[in-house]
Structure formats: structure tokens, C-alpha cells
């Protein structure tokens, strides 16, 4: 039997480079795909006004089909987690296990939807520099920011380079996403939920809720990690992923 491919799905508004510590640890011994979502990173496809999570998931399915990849373990961080759940809901037969990283299953409330639409407008009207500056301190734990200031600077440069149209389309798409909790309750495969104890964007309760909802859910809280736990604590993160693959 061929081993399921690790499908790494980045968060908003980042790109595949956030998975560098995982790609270098797992490939080439394990099959790995770490794409850019439409409009992000090196993907320069034109984006519509709104990119729903199902649309990103459909892009990923087409990519996997083109590469002849059947069974996958989606590893999705934050928005990547929303896309991973959309993929697993659409094509459950292709999902061997699911890894939900610093993310949530719930939908946005009215305030969150309003903030998304404001961000979309701000990106389109004022560009990405302001958004990049405001976002970086929330992505990383304070300790990471102090000990690895170069990481914060690199993330700010990455976000500032993003296409405003892609960012706006993703923000509008996230605002429309459904509550995946009822679906998660029915998902029969292992679900590994990983978060950081210093995540300023996703409260711990959102991860606890996902691990409890999934019939085969397990929660791992990494110490000294913020919203990008795979980058901030790569060794501990990779150890959990390795255990999931081995199990």
C-alpha cells in the first residue's frame, strides 16, 4: 500500500514557505506536497472576488489528481485548517487522517464577518504594508518575537508582498465558511489537533472543542508557541506528526 501523502496547507495570508521545517524533515523519506493556495506565494492565478474554502479545496484536489496522489493526510494551519476540513468533507475517502493546527471548526460571528470585510477593503484600497505591520505581533508568541526577531521581519516582508486581491478574496471566503463542528463529529479518521499555548488568534478552547468533537480526536498543546506553532516549535511539532504517521 502506498503511504498517504502529507498535504501541508498554509495559513492566511502566508504561503508554503511556513512549512519549511516540516518539508525538510519529512521529504524525501515521506511523500509531501506543500502548495501555495490560489493567489498566494508563487501562485499567480487570477482570483475571483471571493475564494471560498471549498474553492481552495477543489484547487488542491485538482493538484493531487494531476500528480497522481490519492490518499492524503492534510495538515492545515489556521485558514489552512478551514481548507483541510473542507477537503475532508468533500472527499473523505481520500483522507487517511487530519491534522488541524492553530485553527477552529466554528464559523465567524457577525463581528468577525465585519472585520473580514473591512480587512478586504483595506487590502484593496490601501495595500498590504499596514496589514503586515499589524499582523506579525499577533502571529508569534512574545518569546519568539524576542528570541527570533528575524522571523518576525521575514513574515512582515512576506505578508507585505501579498497580492491585495488574493488577500481580499480569502478574507471574504473565510467570512462565508460554515460551522464544521457537526461534520467533525461524524468524521471517522484520526484527528490530531495541535496548537500553541501562546496563540493570540485562536483561543485554546477552539482546539479543545475540535479534539472533543472528533470521535478520534487528540489535542496537543505546544509550550512556548504562538499561532505558527509548526515554525516556533518545529521539533516538538514534527515529533507529533511522526507519531501520527507511525500510528
Residues near ligand MLT (CB under 6 A): 11-12, 78-79, 174, 201
Distance in Å, CB of 78 to ligand MLT, minimum: 3
Measured distance CA(226)–CA(146) in Å, rounded: 13
Distance in Å, CB of 11 to ligand MLT, minimum: 3
Toward ligand MLT, which CB reaches closer, 31 or 172? Answer: 172
Distance in Å, CB of 223 to ligand MLT, minimum: 20
Q: How do the residues of the chain divide into helix, strand and coil, expressed in percent and rounded to 5?
A: 50, 10, 35
Measured distance CA(209)–CA(139) in Å, rounded: 21
Toward ligand MLT, which CB reaches closer, 71 or 178? Answer: 178
Toward ligand MLT, which CB reaches closer, 12 or 19? Answer: 12
Concatenating the DSSP letter of every residue in 4-42 gives PEEEEE--TT--GGGGHHHHHHHTTTS-EE-PPPTTSTT
Toward ligand MLT, which CB reaches closer, 5 or 206? Answer: 206
Distance in Å, CB of 37 to ligand MLT, minimum: 10
Collapsing DSSP to helix, strand or coil, 72 comes out as strand
Toward ligand MLT, which CB reaches closer, 69 or 158? Answer: 158
Query: 53: exposed, middle or buried (C-beta count within 10 Å: 0-12, 13-18, 19+)?
Result: buried
Instruction: Give every CB contact of residue 175 below 8 A, 6+ residues apart in sequence.
Output: 108, 112, 113, 116, 117
Instruction: Give every CB contact of residue 10 below 8 A, 6+ residues apart in sequence.
Output: 16, 18, 19, 34, 36, 37, 40, 41, 77, 79, 80
Cα-based torsion angle of the residue sequence 107, 161, 229, 152 in order, rounded to the nearest 10 degrees: -130
Distance in Å, CB of 246 to ligand MLT, minimum: 28
Distance in Å, CB of 53 to ligand MLT, minimum: 11
Distance in Å, CB of 167 to ligand MLT, minimum: 11
Toward ligand MLT, which CB reaches closer, 97 or 159? Answer: 159
Toward ligand MLT, which CB reaches closer, 201 or 245? Answer: 201
Amino acid at each position: 500500500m502506498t503511504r498517504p501523502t502529507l498535504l501541508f496547507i498554509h495559513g492566511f495570508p502566508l504561503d508554503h514557505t511556513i512549512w519549511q521545517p516540516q518539508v525538510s524533515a519529512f521529504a524525501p523519506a515521506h511523500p509531501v506536497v506543500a502548495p501555495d493556495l490560489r493567489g498566494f506565494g508563487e501562485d499567480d492565478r487570477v482570483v475571483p472576488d471571493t475564494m471560498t474554502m471549498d474553492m481552495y479545496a477543489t484547487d488542491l484536489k485538482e493538484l493531487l489528481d494531476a500528480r497522481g496522489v490519492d490518499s492524503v493526510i492534510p495538515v492545515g494551519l489556521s485558514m489552512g485548517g478551514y481548507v483541510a476540513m473542507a477537503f475532508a468533507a468533500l472527499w473523505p475517502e481520500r483522507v487517511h487522517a487530519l491534522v488541524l493546527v492553530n485553527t477552529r471548526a466554528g464559523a465567524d460571528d457577525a463581528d468577525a464577518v465585519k472585520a473580514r470585510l473591512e480587512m478586504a477593503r483595506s487590502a484593496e484600497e490601501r495595500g498590504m504594508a499596514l496589514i503586515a505591520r499589524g499582523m506579525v505581533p499577533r502571529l508569534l508568541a512574545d518569546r519568539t518575537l524576542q528570541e527570533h526577531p528575524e522571523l518576525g521581519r521575514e513574515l512582515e516582508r512576506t505578508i507585505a508582498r501579498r497580492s491585495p486581491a488574493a488577500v481580499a478574496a480569502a478574507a471574504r471566503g473565510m467570512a462565508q465558511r460554515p460551522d464544521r463542528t457537526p461534520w467533525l463529529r461524524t468524521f471517522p479518521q484520526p484527528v490530531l489537533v495541535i496548537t500553541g499555548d501562546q496563540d493570540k488568534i485562536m483561543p485554546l478552547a477552539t482546539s479543545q472543542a475540535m479534539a472533543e468533537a472528533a470521535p478520534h480526536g487528540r489535542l496537543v498543546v505546544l509550550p512556548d508557541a504562538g499561532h505558527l506553532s509548526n515554525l516556533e516549535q518545529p521539533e516538538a511539532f514534527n515529533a507529533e506528526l511522526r507519531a501520527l504517521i507511525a500510528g
